[in-house]
């Protein structure tokens, strides 16, 4: 039997792994970081955070993610380019190779954890890693059991993580693979060191399990005053993490939540913040986590003194930091909140067309939730010379196994039941598209957000946007009136109209693939040309 260190919770033979290697069970993050440094997997920054690199793959590999097509779930999955099917034979073949590979390692690292802070819905998981730093990441990101819970822990899903094993299988798209088998309760990952694949694979699992219980799984951040809860949807770069970190509101979580009968609960035990252009002035709490041992910094450039440079994107724009949620002082103790009064959709509109804040009807909320819009700016990718629209259903399409209409219906029903208001906030450009206009000042965005959350926009005058149909306030405390109506910020009104029509057409073209799966009311919420 393998030698065990830490708190043993069974052995690996039941997982098919037979090894004489040292198996490290449920070590705390600090010990794992020391081991990672000793093993040459990374080094400590000047402030003690672990600095690591993920090699060629610095983000998710969506074309290499598969779901096993099997009887128990195949009618639930929205198969296509996002949810790509593979057969059981391929899974079993690749699993055998992964297990054989792991069995030959000199050390393995195991964590028994939970996904979900709501005790009745917490999914017991086991994560088996080749690297100490990936095991530290898993321990940061999932809910850590108490000693009593650990004794009773029986994993319902196991993640086999072999980042240095590269596939040579003609049925796969590359040497990288992430394969989820719902019936077996297993995930296998190989060929990528990007740590986000570990947590996102289990997020995808929750997104299939919870809707069947009437619980809405969400790719969102959330915060609360105790009496007033808000959730924030948004794709990367829209401000989801930044805007939910508010000194006057306690953080529930920054990325993945469920909305059940008791309110909002975090899936995670930590945060995985994007650190590009991080500054102490704009995001002091997140900046503070990068100075603590226990934080894992991915693909961050440091200077000769070991001080991170968050403005250096020479390795990737997708620089990341993983840290336990306890590193945020202003948070809820139990990672839960009440039913939200406000639902915020964040977009970074590089076309400069959408208003900085607008109020949505329930049908418009469902439409924009399914659309999941933001825009890439010119220059962020080779060949991108003008803004490009990006749509990701439910603001997390790669992790949503079911049809987006399922999640939209759940959102609509919960908003109606608990009286929540939906807002669309544009953190992108004003006065013109990227390259002409300027990005909305974060202090104005915070002022508009706070006004919405505090009810200060309830009694102001609104105008209806003739193209998109949502309501735009004509005044907001702490914000100049002239920036609220986007057409008025452009020097050339005709150029605005042409750009707005172009964006509206993009919305309509994107929504065609979902139209058959939603109600007439939601289809009617589309932009009018």
Q: Which residues are catalytic?
A: 60, 200, 219, 236, 240-241, 255, 320
- Measured distance CA(370)–CA(393) in Å, rounded: 5
Residue 205 tokens read as: 């699992």
Beta strands in 65-163 (DSSP E): 65-68, 84-86, 107-115, 123-129, 157-162
Secondary structure of 456-509 as H, E, C letters = CCCCCCEEECCCCCCEEECCECCECHHHCCHHHHCCCHHHHHHHHHHHHHHHHH
How many C-beta atoms surround the C-beta of residue 148 within 10 A? 8
The DSSP call for residue 437 is S
Beta strands in 293-404 (DSSP E): 296-298, 301-302, 308-309, 320-324, 336-337, 342-347, 357-360, 373-376, 388-391
Cβ 527 vs Cβ 511: under 8 Å: no
182, 218, 178: which is closest to 196 by C-alpha?
Answer: 178
- Measured distance CA(81)–CA(91) in Å, rounded: 19
162, 219, 169: which is closest to 192 by C-alpha?
Answer: 162
Angle formed by the axes of helices 132-141 and 196-209, to 10°?
Answer: 40
Strand partners, 259: 216, 264
91, 289, 274, 250: which is closest to 184 by C-alpha?
Answer: 91
Cβ 22 vs Cβ 11: under 8 Å: no
Q: Look at residue 96 and give its three-state secondary structure.
A: helix
Cβ 254 vs Cβ 346: under 8 Å: no
Q: Mention every residue, 6+ apart, whose C-beta is less than 8 A from residue 192.
A: 54, 57, 61, 64, 163, 176, 178
Query: Length of the chain in residues, anyone?
Result: 529
Place of tokens 């198969």: 79
Place of tokens 């035990």: 269
């Amino acid at each position: 039997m393998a030698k065990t260190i830490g708190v043993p919770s069974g052995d690996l033979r039941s997982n098919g792994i037979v090894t004489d290697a040292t198996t490290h069970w449920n070590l705390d993050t600090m010990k794992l970081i020391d081991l990672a440094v000793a093993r040459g997997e990374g080094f400590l920054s000047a402030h003690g955070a672990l600095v690591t690199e993920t090699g060629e793959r610095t983000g998710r590999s969506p074309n290499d993610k598969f779901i096993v097509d099997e009887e128990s779930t195949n009618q639930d999955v929205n198969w296509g380019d996002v949810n790509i099917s593979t057969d059981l034979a391929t899974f079993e073949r690749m699993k055998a190779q992964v297990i054989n590979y792991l069995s030959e390692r000199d050390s393995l690292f195991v964590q028994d954890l939970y996904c979900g802070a709501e005790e009745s819905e917490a999914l017991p998981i086991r994560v088996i890693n080749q690297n100490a730093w990936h095991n530290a990441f898993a321990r940061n990101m999932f809910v850590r059991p108490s000693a009593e819970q650990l004794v009773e822990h029986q994993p319902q899903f196991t993640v086999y993580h072999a980042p240095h094993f590269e596939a040579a299988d003609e049925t796969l798209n590359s040497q990288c693979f992430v394969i989820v088998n719902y019936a077996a309760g297993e995930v296998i990952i190989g060929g990528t060191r990007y740590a986000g694949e570990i947590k996102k694979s289990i997020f995808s699992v929750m997104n299939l399990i919870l809707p069947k219980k009437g619980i809405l799984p969400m790719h969102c951040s959330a915060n609360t005053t105790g009496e007033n809860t808000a959730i924030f949807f948004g794709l990367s770069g829209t401000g989801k993490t930044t805007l939910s970190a508010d000194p006057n509101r306690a953080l529930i979580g920054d990325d993945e939540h469920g909305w059940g009968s008791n309110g909002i609960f975090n899936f995670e035990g930590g945060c995985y913040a994007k650190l590009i252009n991080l500054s102490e002035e704009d995001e002091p709490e997140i900046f503070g986590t990068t100075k603590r041992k226990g934080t894992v910094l991915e693909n961050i450039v440091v200077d000769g003194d070991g001080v991170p440079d968050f403005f250096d994107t020479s390795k990737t724009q997708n620089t990341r930091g993983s840290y336990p949620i306890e590193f945020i002082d202003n948070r809820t103790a139990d990672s839960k909140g009440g039913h939200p009064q406000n639902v915020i959709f964040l977009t970074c509109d590089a076309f400069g067309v959408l208003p900085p804040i607008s109020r949505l009807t329930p049908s418009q909320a469902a439409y924009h939730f399914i659309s999941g819009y933001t825009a890439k700016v010119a220059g962020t990718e080779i060949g991108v010379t003008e803004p490009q629209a990006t749509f990701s259903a439910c603001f997390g399409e790669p992790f949503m196994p079911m049809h987006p209409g399922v999640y939209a219906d759940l959102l609509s029903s919960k908003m109606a039941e608990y009286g929540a208001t939906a807002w669309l906030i544009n953190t992108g450009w004003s006065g013109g598209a990227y390259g002409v206009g300027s990005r909305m000042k974060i202090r104005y965005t915070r002022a508009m957000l706070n006004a919405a959350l505090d009810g200060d926009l309830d009694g102001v005058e609104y105008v209806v946007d003739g193209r998109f149909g949502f309501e735009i306030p004509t005044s907001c405390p702490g914000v100049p009136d002239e920036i609220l109506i986007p057409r008025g910020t452009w020097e050339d009104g005709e150029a605005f109209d042409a750009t707005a029509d172009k964006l509206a057409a993009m919305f309509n073209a994107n929504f065609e693939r979902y139209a058959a799966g939603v109600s007439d009311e939601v289809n009617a919420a589309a932009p009018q040309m």
